[in-house]
Amino acid sequence: GAMGGSASLLPQDLLGEYQELTFLSRQEILLAYKRFSELLPKEERESACSARVPKSHILTLPELRANPFQHRICRVFSTSETGDDSMSFEDFLDMLSAFSDSATSDIKSHYAFRIFDFDEDGILDRKDLEQLVNCLTGQGEESRLSSEEMEQLIQNILEESDLDKDGTINLPEFQHVVSRSPDFASSFKIVL
């Protein structure tokens, strides 16, 4: 087109489909498409719907650059078969949808649980919680907790959350905790 913007338009039928499958508005989907296309090399932008963006490019998004769980987020939302955590446009939309204001707290807590489940065994155990705390407190020496502080914190988390007292937090337990913390949903979001 004379405006030069037509190449980056999403086909109408897909737009409708994505609106039904996500919590995103039409406007948000179009914006996401633009952002996603811009992460691709020029020659791949025409076919952004079928392209994959490498993890290293996804991590340049300001919203993820500042997120302590950036690597886990890419891992959880990527459908890459080679395990390189690259993202297709649909992966990217799924991620934005889960982080959007309109996503239900059930959806948010489900994804948060998967993101925090570092070893991907379906439960949050002490090791997961330790990594979670390290991500949140930063990796710097001065901000790291001593092993006593870490132990105390994990005890507190388990006391609060581990309802069946098996030493781990499962998804229902996690969702129960989240349902009692009103600020959880607002902290778990990415706005384009």
pLDDT score at 8 = 59
Q: Which CATH number describes the domain made up of 12-99?
A: 1.10.238.10
**Distance between terminal CA atoms of the chain?**
26
Rg (CA), the chain: 19
Say if 12-99 and 105-187 have the same CATH topology: yes
Alpha-carbon distance 113 to 132, whole Å?
11
Q: How far apart are CA 71 and CA 1, in angstroms?
A: 38
Q: Which residue has the tokens 């490498």?
A: 54
CATH of domain 105-187: 1.10.238.10
CA 152, chain centre distance (Å):
28
Q: Give the pLDDT confidence score for residue 49 in this predicted structure.
A: 93
pTM across the whole model: 0.89
Number of alpha carbons in the 13 Å side-chain half-sphere of residue 57: 16
Total count of residues recorded for the chain: 192
Residue in this structure with the two tokens 């001065």, named with its chain if needed: 142
pLDDT (tens, 9 = 90+) of the chain, 192 residues, equals 344 444 458 889 999 999 999 999 999 999 999 999 999 999 999 899 999 999 999 999 998 998 999 999 999 999 999 999 999 999 999 999 999 999 998 999 999 999 999 999 999 999 999 999 888 887 677 778 899 999 999 999 999 999 999 999 999 999 998 888 877 777 777 665
Tokens of 158: 């388990």
Coil vs helix vs strand at 15: helix
Segments making up each domain of the chain, as ranges: 12-99, 105-187
